[in-house]
Amino acid sequence: MALQNLGVELLPLIAGLGVAGAGIALAMQGIIGNLASGLTIIFTRPFNVGDYISIAQEEGEVLEISLFSTILGHTDRSRVVIPNRKIVGEILHNYGPIRQLHIAVDIAYGADTNIALNLIDDILQANPRVLQDPAPVFGIAQLAESGITLNVAPWVKVPDYIAAVSEINKSILETFNARGVALALPQYEVRMLENNA
């Protein structure tokens, strides 16, 4: 009232303060959202450092959880920083500290499946990266067009995932070749039709 009596226009001043307040509120919205989401993640613990997760079309090993963001590490040693507000409320796949490999091996129909499965068991027992608890899973997955598909699905620690896939594939190839277990090759039947016209 005193300022108005002195001739100061209050309406533009109040409008200016309102616009500034709205701008500050919009600018703080992302920061406050990340902070609230960070507190939610810290207290509810849907994942921990060292877990392998898939979220917001990204996946990787959780390297760091802070109030504002979560950092994931990829196997190529790159890092992805995800704002926490992009995590809370999304569908999260937490693999935990271990992952299961999914390797498909096609052997010929003439091959002895019992020998092939025993060789795979030996390979998985011999590989130091393969965890024995939980026990490796393997067996006949499918009778395909050109061969029998064997499913090899052992568990490994998250950092060992890429190396284990390579080592197991190499061991299977070398062992099957040495023991005469034929791998399936694509087969096509071609028929030649004679045109008498």
The answer to whether residues 128 and 164 belong to one domain is yes
Per-residue pLDDT, 6:
60
Q: Which has the closest alpha carbon to 123: 161, 184, 160, 176?
A: 176
Q: Which has the closest alpha carbon to 179: 102, 103, 109, 118?
A: 118
Range of the domain at 104: 98-179
Q: Please count the structural domains in the chain.
A: 2
Q: Give the model confidence (pLDDT) of 25-83 as tens digits.
A: 555 556 777 677 778 888 888 888 988 988 878 888 899 988 888 899 887 889 999 88
- The CA distance from 170 to 172, in Å, is 5
Q: Give the model confidence (pLDDT) of 156-168 as tens digits.
A: 998 888 899 999 9
CB 154 within 8 A of CB 146: no
Sign of the dihedral through C-alpha 108, 109, 111, 113: positive
The answer to whether residues 86 and 19 belong to one domain is yes
What is the percent of the chain where pLDDT is above 90?
A: 34
The answer to whether residues 83 and 105 belong to one domain is no
Per-residue pLDDT, 28:
54
The answer to whether residues 58 and 102 belong to one domain is no
